Amino acid sequence: MKKSITIIVMLLCSVITSQAVSQTLSKKLGQFAKDIASNFDEVSAERKAALEEIGDYMLASITEHNEAQLVIICTHNSRRSQITQAMTYLASEYYGVANVKTFSGGLEVTAFHPNAVAALKRAGFWIEKSASGDNPTYLTTLGKNYSQMLQFSKEYGHQDNPTENFAAIMVCSDADKSCPLVSGADRRFSLPYDDPRYFDGKPAAEQKYDETVATIGKEIFYLVDYVKQQQILVAEANK
């Protein structure tokens, strides 16, 4: 009984910590995070199972290597992979899961698409273009006192990405089919999302990109929340 009460208290502390962290985010991003963190019932059982499998890898990697490195891969590294990378950064900070390092890459180089950049900004991310050109670079952060994350389109084997001790997360079906083996990856997970690019230049583009950001956000938040809860349970069991 005492152990059960202790676990419940620890879980409640985790929720309180998440709420406290969200208050240090940009105001808009903090509200976005609270909203998606309260909608896990919208994530299907099938997707939850896939996310928990990734979470188990992250837990094992943190135990063995003191970090979990995730390389998010899509064909062009322009939309879904960039959004997922940003959401993993946000979720890790929101839930206070340390030593999660997130990267992204593609099978070819294009650019971080302006519609994806704009959708993340509407969610509350602070994103600043740091260099122009055909493939601009952007500095992404969550608010004051947060580190900046460099985002630009690159191949998944780019020098900025890890070459070992990482999991490859395939977020588009084309890359999933075209790249059955990711060199250096410990594990490869399929987590495809619908491509919002089909709405580029159409009246519904903004809505569809916002929906993509929300969908990816909910699932990545579920993933990192799962990791956090498992860490709490393991810590209690080891006392």
All domains in the chain, ordered by first residue:
2-237 (3.40.50.2300)
Query: Structure pTM?
Result: 0.89
pLDDT digits (tens, 9 = 90+) for 192-210: 999 999 999 999 999 999 9
pLDDT digits (tens, 9 = 90+) for 161-172: 999 999 999 998
SS3 101: strand
Residue 168 burial (CB count, 10 A): 24
pLDDT digits (tens, 9 = 90+) for 8-37: 445 555 544 455 454 488 899 999 999 999
If you average pLDDT over residues 48-57, what whole number do you get? 98
Q: What is the pLDDT of residue 190?
A: 95
pLDDT digits (tens, 9 = 90+) for 96-155: 999 999 999 999 999 999 999 999 999 999 999 999 999 999 999 999 889 999 999 999
Cα separation, 20 vs 60, whole angstroms: 27
Q: What is the pLDDT of residue 238?
A: 83
If you average pLDDT over residues 87-102, what whole number do you get? 96
If you average pLDDT over residues 76-83, what whole number do you get? 97
3-state secondary structure 180-219: CCCCCEEEEEECCCCCHHHHCCCCCHHHHHHHHHHHHHHH
Cα separation, 40 vs 32, whole angstroms: 14
Q: What is the pLDDT of residue 145?
A: 86
Please return the burial class of 159, using the count of CB atoms within 10 Å of its CB with bins 0-12, 13-18 and 19+.
Answer: exposed
Q: What is the pLDDT of residue 16?
A: 45
Q: What is the pLDDT of residue 93?
A: 95
**Confidence band (pLDDT; 50, 70, 90) for 5?**
very low
If you average pLDDT over residues 43-55, what whole number do you get? 98
Cα separation, 62 vs 223, whole angstroms: 15
